[in-house]
Amino acid sequence: MASFCSRLTICLALFVLILGSANAQLSTNFYYHSCPNLFSTVKSTVQSAISKETRMGASLLRLFFHDCFVNGCDGSILLDDTSSFTGEKNANPNRNSARGYEVIDNIKSAVEKACPGVVSCADILAIAARDSVQILGGPSWNVKVGRRDARTASQSAANNGIPPPTSNLNQLISRFSALGLSTKDLVALSGGHTIGQARCTNFRARIYNESNIDTAFARTRQQSCPRTSGSGDNNLATLDLQTPTEFDNYYFKNLVQKKGLLHSDQQLFNGGSTDSIVRGYSTNPSSFSSDFAAAMIKMGDISPLTGSNGEIRKNCRRIN
């Protein structure tokens, strides 16, 4: 009997160990001992970057979105192309628009000085996104960390995984749902467009061809975005005309007034199932803030590499 119990105890211990490694969890205190100054190190570098260019906050937030939506939050968006794979930087959603890589390099350099070989680039992206939102006046949240970095990237996965600005509501709901994100998460996370800018090529069709748009708003945007394709394609316009550098709920107020810049933005308030959520956020900024923070934590949980999977990159642009 004692022998059986002993064997059973060993088997149970092995089972728990295997289960634990297969379901390794992120936590807010993962680097508590191994890199105690991590969060302050990241924040000071992000603060410096935003002080030089306010738009950088939106760019860092977007990098995290575009990383998580392609094979999970694994830092793959940061990898340069190699002879063995074509990365995500030149995928359609990122080419000529994703930016902030040099800021991530600066953060990584500062973190490496503080605690070499300990913190992943994937975690740096997650922390920098939170800090960017907070610095620009938005909510804060406790970032879960413990991710490891991917050893590869996929341009095709980026082309297929990131919803384009031409998406309709059903396509948006479907893509977010496939990643475990609810319709409320979709609307809340879309509120990240309260900061940042978009290229003319991504909103030209909306301001010239769509009817669910405020006429004066469309006319204003047409001034810097010519009708002819190929002319002024990279001209920029703020996603939120009212307070483009403040993280607030004006994005939703704009949608209610038919002043969403992208087709995919206005789809959230166009007589569909998400109208009530948009209207609620437009009148209740604290509700938006809390839901955005919760959705960011949830998005950060998408398929992270943990345990012995992946690696801790020394340079965020290439594998070790």
Choose the catalytic residue: 30, 50, 59, 66.
66
Question: According to the annotation, is 123 in a ligand binding site?
Answer: no
Residue 105 labeled ligand binder: no
Helix (H) or strand (E) holding 197: strand 197-199
Q: Is 72 annotated as a binding residue?
A: yes
**Residue 240 assigned as binding residue:** yes
Q: Please tell me whether 263 is known to bind a ligand.
A: no
Residue 163 marked ligand-binding:
yes
Tally of CB atoms within 10 A around 274: 21
Alpha helices (runs of H) in 73-214, residue ranges in sequence order: 101-114, 121-135, 155-161, 169-178, 183-190, 200-209
- Report whether 70 belongs to an annotated binding site: yes
Tell how far CA 123 is from the center of its chain. 12
Helix (H) or strand (E) holding 238: strand 236-238
Nearest-5° angle of CA 25, CA 26, CA 31? 125
36 labelled ligand-binding: no
Q: Give the number of other CB atoms < 10 A from CB of residue 152.
A: 14
* H/E segment holding residue 278: helix 275-283
Closest CA to 61 of 241, 242, 239: 239
Active site residue 33: no
DSSP character for 118? T
DSSP letter at 152?
-
Q: Is 74 annotated among the ligand-binding residues?
A: yes
Residues 6+ apart with CB under 8 A from 80: 87, 89, 317, 318
The angle subtended at Cα 290 by Cα 240 and Cα 27, nearest 5°, is 115
Ramachandran bin of 35, using left for φ above 0, alpha for ψ from -120 to 50, beta for the remaining angles: beta
Known binder of ligand: residue 44? no
**In degrees rounded to 5, what are phi and psi of residue 145?**
-130, 175
Residues annotated catalytic, as ranges = 66
* Binding region for Ca(2+): 67, 70, 72, 74, 76, 88, 194, 240, 243, 248
* Binding region: 67, 70, 72, 74, 76, 88, 163, 193-194, 240, 243, 248
* Binding region for substrate: 163
